[in-house]
Amino acid sequence: MNTSVDNQQDLIVEKEAARTAPPPMYQVVLLNDDYTPMEFVVKVLKKFFGKDEEEATRIMLRVHHDGRGTCGVYPRDLAATRIAQVAQYAHARQHPLQCIMEPV
């Protein structure tokens, strides 16, 4: 009768703490044009970016005077979704309003 003894070496695995970085953020920027009414821009800011009347008006005036205004800062997918929503909404109402996203 053979008796075998298993000589197993203890294996120690050290877990490294998972390092997750926050996703890269992008700012959504509305661009000025000479055709989109100011009231429509305010409506878009309220509808898609959750701005109140005062803040939407402030951003709209920045777009009007400076040529661009930041609507918000979001992760890439959310920023792209907001841009697509605004483009579709503006196009359906025959306005050339455009917005872009830029890395923060």
For residues 5 and 98, the model is more confident at: 98
Contacts of 57 (CB under 8 A, 6+ apart): 42
Neighbours of 46 (CB within 10 A): 15
Which of 3-7, 17-21, 64-68 is the most confident on average?
64-68
Please identify which residue in the block is written with the tokens 């997750």.
20
Q: What pLDDT is recorded for position 14? A: 75
Provide the pLDDT confidence category of residue 41 given band limits of 50, 70 and 90: very high
Length of the chain equals: 104
Q: Could you give the CA distance from residue 37 to residue 33 in angstroms, rounded to a whole number?
A: 9
Domains of the chain in sequence order: 36-103 (3.30.1390.10)
Cα dihedral across residues 38, 102, 23, 87: positive or negative: positive
